[in-house]
C-alpha cells in the first residue's frame, strides 16, 4: 500500500542560504520529518490563487492537509480592525488556505491545524481571533522569547478527538503565539484549554473523520502522538491495493 500523501501548507519568508538571500516557499523541516516518521509522504504546498478558485484540483491529489504555523492571519479575513501587533501578513496564503479548508471540510478530508493553522480553521468556519492575547491576559506568557517555545500544560475534553490523538486528558505542549480564538467557528467545539489561563488550545469538528486544530506545535515534540494520529486517519483514504 502506498503512503498517505500529506500536503503541508507553506509560508513565504525571506531566507538566507549560502550566498543567497531570497523569498522562499518554506516550512521548518520538523513538519515534514514528523509526517515521514508516521509513514506519510510529505508534499509542500505553496499558495496558489488558481487553486484557491479550484481547490479540488489539488485536493484530489491528497489524503490529508496540514495547515501549519507562521505569520498572523490578516484581520480583514475575519472582518476585524487591524491591530498594531499584527504584522507581516500574507493575504495570498490566507486566501489559499481558507479555500482549502472550506473544501477539505466539505469532502471530509482529514486536516490538522497547527498554531496559525488552528486559527485558520476557526476563521475558515466563520470564527474570529483575539488579535493580541497580552491585552487580555496581561502578559505574553505564550511567547516569552523570539524563536523559543514556551512549554505549559493543557487539559483536554474527555472522549474528544484531541484527547484521543494526544493519548490522554493532560499533556505538556510547546507554544509560540500571541493570538487566540475569540468567537468559535460554526460547527467547531473547543476541546482543549491551557491549564494556566484557560486559553483555548484545541478545537475540532465532531462530525468529520479528523478535523483538529492545536494551538501548540506537536511537530517539534518527538513524543507527541498527534501527527501520527492524523496520518493514520489519512491512511484510511488510501485505496486498497494502491
User: What are the residue numbers of the active site?
Assistant: 115, 217, 219
Please tell me the distance from the alpha carbon of residue 226 to that of residue 162, in angstroms, as a whole number.
8
Which residue, chain included where needed, has cell 523541516?
29
Please tell me the distance from the alpha carbon of residue 180 to that of residue 171, in angstroms, as a whole number.
19
Burial 145-157 (b: 16+ CB within 10 A, else e): eeeebbebebbbb
Burial zone of 23 (CB within 10 Å; 0-12 exposed, 13-18 middle, 19+ buried): exposed
Picking from 67, 75, 85, 53, the residue whose alpha carbon sits closest to that of residue 11 is: 67
Amino acid at each position: 500500500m502506498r503512503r498517505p500523501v500529506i500536503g503541508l501548507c507553506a509560508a513565504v519568508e525571506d531566507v538566507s542560504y549560502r550566498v543567497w538571500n531570497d523569498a522562499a516557499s518554506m516550512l521548518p523541516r520538523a513538519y515534514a520529518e514528523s509526517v515521514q516518521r508516521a509513514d506519510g509522504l510529505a508534499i509542500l504546498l505553496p499558495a496558489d490563487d488558481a487553486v484557491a478558485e479550484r481547490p479540488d484540483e489539488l485536493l484530489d491529489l491528497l489524503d490529508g492537509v496540514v495547515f501549519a504555523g507562521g505569520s498572523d492571519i490578516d484581520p480583514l479575513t475575519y472582518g476585524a480592525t487591524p491591530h498594531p501587533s499584527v504584522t507581516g501578513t500574507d493575504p495570498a496564503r490566507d486566501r489559499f488556505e481558507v479555500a482549502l479548508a472550506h473544501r477539505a471540510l466539505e469532502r471530509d478530508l482529514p486536516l490538522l491545524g497547527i498554531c496559525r493553522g488552528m486559527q485558520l480553521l476557526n476563521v475558515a468556519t466563520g470564527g474570529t481571533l483575539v488579535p493580541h492575547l497580552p491585552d487580555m491576559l496581561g502578559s505574553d506568557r505564550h511567547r516569552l522569547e523570539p524563536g523559543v517555545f514556551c512549554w505549559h500544560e493543557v487539559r483536554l475534553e474527555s472522549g474528544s478527538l484531541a484527547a484521543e490523538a494526544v493519548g490522554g486528558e493532560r499533556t505538556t505542549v510547546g507554544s509560540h503565539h500571541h493570538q487566540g480564538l475569540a468567537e468559535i467557528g460554526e460547527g467547531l467545539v473547543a476541546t482543549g484549554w491551557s491549564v494556566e489561563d484557560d486559553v483555548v488550545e484545541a478545537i475540532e469538528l465532531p462530525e468529520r473523520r479528523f478535523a483538529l486544530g492545536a494551538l501548540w506545535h506537536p511537530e517539534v515534540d518527538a513524543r507527541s502522538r498527534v501527527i501520527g494520529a492524523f496520518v493514520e486517519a489519512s491512511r484510511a483514504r488510501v485505496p486498497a491495493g494502491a
